[in-house]
A and B are shown apart, each in its own frame.
Chain A
Amino acid sequence: MPPTVIKIENLSKYYRLGLIGSGTLREDMGRWIARMRGLPDPLLKIGEKDHGNRKDGQIWALKGINLEIKQGEVLGVIGGNGAGKSTLLKILSKITAPTTGSIKIKGRIGSLLEVGTGFHPELTGRENIYLNGAILSMPRQEISAKLEEIIEFAEMSKFIDTPVKRYSSGMTVRLAFAVAAHLEPEILIIDEVLAVGDAVFQKKCLGKMGEVAQQGRTVLFVSHNMNSIKSLCTKAVLLESGILKNIGCTEGVVDSYLTKNIQEKNNTNSYPSGYIFHKDVEASNKDFDVIGLQLLDMKREPINNAVTWEPLIVRIHYAAKSEVKRGSITVLVKARDGTKLLLCSTQPDSGVPLHIYPGVNSIDCIFRKWPLTGGLFVLGIGIAVPMVEYLFLDESICIIHTEGRDIFNSGMVPVADRYLVATDHDWEL
Chain B
Amino acid sequence: MQSTENKMQTEEPEWTQIIEPHGHVFDLKLKELWKYRDLIYLFVHRDFVAQYKQTILGPAWHFIQPLFTTITFTIIFGKIAQMSTDGVPPFIFYMAGIVIWTYFSGVLTATSSTFTGNAGLFGKVYFPRLAVPVAHLFSKLIAFAIQYIFFLIFLGYFIWKGAGIHPNVWVLATPVLLLMMAALGFGLGMIISALTTKYRDLTVLVGFGIQLFMYVSPIIYPLSTLPDKWRFWMGLNPVAPIIEMYRYSYLGAGSIDLAMFGVSFIVISVILLLGIIMFNKTERTFLDTV
Contact = CB atoms under 8 A, between A and B. Distances in A.
B125 A97 contact: no
A99 B21 contact: yes
A134 B46 CA distance: 12
Contact of B21 (A25, A97, A135): A97
A105 to B, nearest CB: 5
Contact of B11 (A3, A15, A101, A118): A3
Interface in A76-90: 90
B123 to A, nearest CB: 6
Contacts of A101: 21
Interface in A97-121: 97-109, 111, 113-114, 117-118, 120
Interface stretch (A123-131, A273-281, A393-401): A123-131
Interface residues of A, number: 46
B257 to A, nearest CB: 36
B3 interface: no
B288 A20 contact: yes
A265 to B, nearest CB: 32
Interface stretch (B12-20, B98-106, B143-151, B177-185): B12-20
A111 B18 contact: no
A101 B18 CA distance: 10
A397 to B, nearest CB: 38
A244 interface: no
Interface stretch (A136-144, A145-153, A365-373): A136-144
Contacts of A113: 123-125
Given A106-B14, A131-B42, A135-B39, A95 B201 contact: no
B166 interface: no
Nearest to A113: B124
Contacts of A340: none
A94 B283 CA distance: 10
B213 interface: no
Given A3-B8, A105-B15, A134-B39, A123 B201 contact: no
A15 B38 contact: no
A108 B32 CA distance: 13
A132 to B, nearest CB: 9
B18 A97 contact: no
A275 B135 CA distance: 67
Nearest to A101: B21
Given A25-B201, A123-B49, A134 B19 contact: no
A107 B16 contact: yes
B121 A117 contact: yes
B18 A103 contact: yes
Interface of A: 3, 7, 15, 20, 23-25, 28, 90-109, 111, 113-114, 117-118, 120, 122-123, 127, 130-131, 134-137, 139-140, 163
